[in-house]
Amino acid sequence: MDIRGLGYITITASDPGAWRAYGEDLGAMVVDGDDWLGLRLDERPYRVVVAEGADGLDAAGWELADATALDQAVSELEAAGITITE
């Protein structure tokens, strides 16, 4: 896969607000939503979103070189049994 970088991750946690101190320790701008917490680490809005739910990783978005790299990544992930949602 030709992954260039992390676009975003969405984490679910029973207490999203508990992530506030962690985000502040990272130097992130922390924004509260109704049932989520956004961590802005750079010029992009919210590289990390912590939403209310069962503890775990909900979604990840990756930056790829181009449409061909995206098609290849989807093929490789599906071959590994990972469900892809556009």
Per-residue pLDDT of 43-80, as tens digits, reads 888 899 999 999 999 999 989 999 999 999 999 999 99
CB burial of residue 57 (10 Å; 0-12, 13-18, 19+): exposed
| pTM, 2 dp | 0.76
Please, are residues 73 and 3 in contact by the beta-carbon 8 Å criterion?
Answer: yes
Per-residue pLDDT of 27-40, as tens digits, reads 999 998 888 999 99
